[in-house]
Amino acid sequence: MGRSGTPPAMIEAVDVAKSFTLRRRAGRGPRRVRTTLSAVDGVSFTVGRGEFVGYLGPNGAGKSTTIKMLTGILTPSSGTLRVCGMDPSRERTALARRIGVVFGQRTTLWWDLPLRDSLTLIRRLYRVEASAHRRRLAELTALLELEPFLDTPVRQLSLGQRMRGDLAAALLHGPELLVLDEPTIGLDVVSKATVRGFLERLNAERGTTILLTTHDLGDIERLCRRVLIVDHGRLAFDGDLARLRQAVAADRMLVVELARPGPPVELDGIEVVRTEGPRQWLRLPRAANAAAVVAGLAERYEISDIALREADIEEVLAGLYRGDHAYTPTPP
């Protein structure tokens, strides 16, 4: 507990930056010039105990670099970072006992060993007491349905099985914080559902704090109560999905079914983005009054059906990443 009686934050990032020095050949000669690439450019956020947070952003935004700093693999160029109250790069070993990390593109398991043996080695690495290990392994085996392939060498596992194995490996020592870098990448729909269901339960029943990077919209909608969006190394948004829709002032879509097919309808302030027989899709700016637009249409056209649709999260993020929307960055 902190002095005020509130539990300390699991993650506290204040103005964290990371830049890389690149050496490039200047012209044809042997001379090389040094340039600096700012991968993370002054990011501040706090994640409290028990939260489930999505860390999103377009390719190259700085997500993996942030995760590497949170887990102590990289040291920030400036700013301060505390994870479980520790400085990750200075106290990397002590921190490793408190957190679990899964990189979807890489495995921490031993390629040639059966999954069971990898998990036993991990127990020794983390010095988990034998009875606690047995209990957790049984629990994770049941929740992640590992039993059918516990004795299979890791190299023979499917991607979905390997990911479940990696999750078990990251959780065997009972970490308070789980950091995941694209945990559902490449998984089929059934495996994704298993992994998502598991993460949901881990967070809800165990209270494990989870920070997840993903490009998968299903992960975001199903799991993340709060999203942080980074763009060009800076935090562009911090809040829940409903607020994100509002913040980007995403346009709404009016789907109009005319009595018969015809040319695109015409009305001030709206744009027909698609037609399909008698059906037309109209982009409605958020500021527009939907009732007035519907009344205006009904006056001029014979309409048999009409539906108003909020932009889905895919459209919202695509617009945000492309820079279409004027959104207000959330102050730290």
Least distance between ligand ATP and beta carbon 317 (Å):
12
Size of the site for ligand ATP (CB under 6 A): 12
- Residue 293 CA to residue 236 CA, distance in Å, equals 32
* Complex with ligand ATP: residue 126 or 321, whichever CB lies closer: 321
- Residue 108 CA to residue 89 CA, distance in Å, equals 20
With binding defined as CB under 6 A, does residue 59 bind ligand ATP? yes
With binding defined as CB under 6 A, does residue 99 bind ligand ATP? no
Taking a C-beta distance cutoff of 8 angstroms, is the pair 139, 133 a contact? Answer: no
* Complex with ligand ATP: residue 22 or 142, whichever CB lies closer: 22
With binding defined as CB under 6 A, does residue 317 bind ligand ATP? no
- Residue 107 CA to residue 129 CA, distance in Å, equals 24
Residue 156 main-chain phi, psi, to 5 deg: -95, 0
Taking a C-beta distance cutoff of 8 angstroms, is the pair 67, 74 a contact? Answer: no
Taking a C-beta distance cutoff of 8 angstroms, is the pair 144, 160 a contact? Answer: no
With binding defined as CB under 6 A, does residue 208 bind ligand ATP? no
- Options 55-63, 204-212, 240-248, 299-307: segment touching ligand ATP (CB under 6 A): 55-63
With binding defined as CB under 6 A, does residue 39 bind ligand ATP? yes
Q: What is the 3-state secondary structure (H, E, C) of 194-229?
A: HHHHHHHHHHHHHCCEEEEECCCHHHHHHHCCEEEE
With binding defined as CB under 6 A, does residue 65 bind ligand ATP? yes
- Residue 79 CA to residue 95 CA, distance in Å, equals 19
With binding defined as CB under 6 A, does residue 133 bind ligand ATP? no
- Residue 14 CA to residue 292 CA, distance in Å, equals 46
With binding defined as CB under 6 A, does residue 64 bind ligand ATP? yes
Using DSSP's 3-state secondary structure scheme, residue 162 falls into helix
With binding defined as CB under 6 A, does residue 186 bind ligand ATP? no
User: Which of 37, 121, 142, 290: binder of ligand ATP (CB under 6 A)?
Assistant: 37
With binding defined as CB under 6 A, does residue 204 bind ligand ATP? no
Least distance between ligand ATP and beta carbon 230 (Å):
7
User: Which of 7, 60, 277, 285: binder of ligand ATP (CB under 6 A)?
Assistant: 60
- Options 56-64, 92-100, 241-249, 269-277: segment touching ligand ATP (CB under 6 A): 56-64
With binding defined as CB under 6 A, does residue 63 bind ligand ATP? yes
- Options 2-10, 61-69, 83-91, 218-226: segment touching ligand ATP (CB under 6 A): 61-69
Least distance between ligand ATP and beta carbon 20 (Å):
3
With binding defined as CB under 6 A, does residue 71 bind ligand ATP? no
With binding defined as CB under 6 A, does residue 111 bind ligand ATP? no
314 DSSP assignment:
H
- Residue 270 CA to residue 292 CA, distance in Å, equals 12
With binding defined as CB under 6 A, does residue 54 bind ligand ATP? no
Q: Identify the residue whose tokens are 């043996």.
A: 117
- Residue 211 CA to residue 81 CA, distance in Å, equals 15
Helices (H), the chain: 63-70, 92-96, 115-125, 130-144, 159-171, 189-206, 217-223, 241-247, 290-300, 313-322
With binding defined as CB under 6 A, does residue 61 bind ligand ATP? yes
Mask: binding to ligand ATP, 11-30, rule CB under 6 A, as x and -?
A: ---------x-x--------
Taking a C-beta distance cutoff of 8 angstroms, is the pair 298, 279 a contact? Answer: no
What residues make contact with ligand ATP under the rule CB under 6 A? 20, 22, 37, 39, 57, 59-65
